[in-house]
Amino acid sequence: MDIAPTPVPTRTSGAAPALAAPHAAAGAGVPGRWREVARAANLLDAEGTVAPTVFATMSALATRTGAINLGQGFPDTDGPASLLEDAVAAIRGGVNQYPPGRGIPVLREAIAEHQRRFYGLDVDPETEVLVTAGATEALAAALMALVSPGDEVVVLEPYYDAYAASIELAGATRRTVPLRFPEYTLEPGALAAAVGPRTRLILLNTPHNPTGHVLSETELAEVARVAREHDLLVVTDEVYEHLVFDGRRHVPLATLPGMAERTLTISSAGKTFSVTGWKIGWVHGPAELVEAVITVKQFLTYVNGAPFQPAVANALRLPEEHFAEVARRMQAGRDLLTEGLLEAGFTVSRPGGTYFVVADAAPLGYDDGMALCLDLPRLAGVVGVPVRVFHDDQAAGASLVRFAVCKRPEVLAEAARRLRTLTRS
């Protein structure tokens, strides 16, 4: 789900299209609109050059140095065997052409059944569900469909980098509400204070990336109250819905009073079933809002992943124990890595869910998390991601580093062992 700049055609009157270099410097051929998107996603360096995303940079660093990659959030194991076998069977069975624009019916039905089984939501698979090319496309299409230039979108900060880029693509302005390390709770009144006369939409992410914070019922009630009082739409990113720890359960915002009719809920198969490369996501909500998203989505990817869709449908119908076991494994990874980070001397925010743990490197003498991330392969043979890239207020996340826990236990144990050597370096 990472966003990277791509060559963009530019045209002058009577001239053939020309390609702008994706890493061109300011004024050297990158169209201004795309420079704004790059700036919004923190992809411009001090010289105005368009740079790769931090995920691409850190993953390349891990490959080059042989370090353990705890930077990018992808698992190092495959999903359920039945899921993989179902995809192979679909390919061999001829499910290889364009699926319907809304998604294969069996998957839309499974999504609706899943929402009813886990959350009691009544969703019409015919009119209220859309299958997308991952959650990122659902997010981008929803924002481009629902907001207009000059509108404002309120988002929690720190935020996943695709949010800033998608808001910019829609021509809107983001207004951020800070969540502070280490608790990362939504302070009472903070969301309402960010809402103004031009606010159109709240973009909510829970369980939250990069912090791992799971919004409480009190926090969710605050979001719902603000949305109702100001007649706002809400787009919720719930891709980590089944990766909630310590006996808690995910609560979709759409289940709160008065919210189903104003909320678009986004999720995907990638995180729950360890198939991030399949890019099978979905969005559901009121039929008129889903129709608006379809209007945009059909001109993005049109459709995708035909043989993966029936496989995901079957996976969504797996017994509840499967989903509970996924959460238990990820919680064990959190605990293992957290212990190693604490022993290394970091201050750690204990996440309530997701793939990630955020740690403060300041006690180790690193006030700059980016500097530490660049040094970690040499110091400990581990790669993380600096949290400041997820902030507008980069000082708020200056010394923080995000580590992924979605790896095999032996990999996390080795990473923890290596990180503990930092106290002796």
Question: Who's near 29: CB < 8 A, 6+ residues apart?
Answer: 10, 18, 20, 21
Buried b (16+ CB within 10 A) or exposed e, 409-423: eebbbbbbebbbebe
Residue among 280, 271, 278, 279 at smallest CA distance from 406: 271
3-state helix, strand, coil split of the chain in percent (to 5) is 45, 15, 40
- Least confident piece of the model among 29-43, 111-125, 311-325, 327-341: 29-43
Token pair, residue 269, equals 């198969």
- Domains by residue range for the chain, with CATH: 54-78+321-424 (3.90.1150.10), 81-317 (3.40.640.10)
The rounded distance, in Å, linking the Cα atoms of 85 and 95 is 14
Quickly tell me which residue has 């929402």 as its tokens: 115
- The region of weakest confidence among 45-59, 166-180, 272-286 is 45-59
What confidence score (pLDDT) does residue 23 get? 34
Spell out the alpha helix ranges (H) of 100-159: 105-119, 134-146
Amino acid at 118: F
User: Any idea of the CA torsion for 57, 59, 64, 65, to the nearest 10 degrees?
Assistant: 110
Whether the Cβ atoms of residue 158 and residue 210 lie closer than 8 Å to each other: yes
Residues with Cβ within 8 Å of residue 277, at least 6 apart in sequence: 74, 270
Sign, Cα dihedral of 345, 346, 349, 354: negative
pLDDT score, position 271: 97
Q: Which residues, in sequence order, are CB contacts of 140 under 8 Å at separation 6+?
A: 162, 166, 169, 300
- List pLDDT tens digits, range 368-404: 999 999 999 999 999 999 999 999 998 999 999 999 9
How far is CA 70 from each of CA 64, 125, 270, 386, 421, rounded to the nearest angstrom?
14, 37, 17, 11, 17
What is the average pLDDT across 89-109?
98
Q: Which pLDDT score is estimated for 20?
A: 29
CB atoms within 10 A of CB 31: 13
Give 20's DSSP letter.
Answer: P
List, for residues 189-201, the tens digit of each pLDDT value.
999 999 999 999 9
Mean model confidence pLDDT for the chain: 90
| pLDDT at position 301 | 95
Give the list of residues 6+ apart from residue 25 with CB closer than 8 angstroms, or none.
Answer: 47, 48, 49
* Residue 349, pLDDT score: 98
Q: Which helix (H) or strand (E) holds 16?
A: none
Residues 245 and 330 sit within 8 Å (Cβ to Cβ): yes
Which tokens in the block code for residue 314? 């079957």
pLDDT at 29 over 90: no
Report, as an integer, the average pLDDT of 274-302: 97
Q: Read off the pLDDT band of 57 (50, 70, 90).
A: confident
Specify the residue for token string 């973009």.
Answer: 203
Say how far apart CA 283 and CA 103 lie, in whole Å.
11
Let me know if 22 is exposed, middle or buried by CB neighbors in 10 A (0-12, 13-18, 19+): middle
pLDDT, one tens digit per residue, over 222-248 is: 999 999 999 999 999 999 999 999 999
Per-residue pLDDT tens for 198-213? 999 999 999 999 999 9
Task: Judge contact between 194 and 392, C-beta under 8 A.
Answer: no
* pLDDT, tens digit, 9 for 90 and up, residues 113-145: 999 999 999 999 999 999 999 999 999 999 999
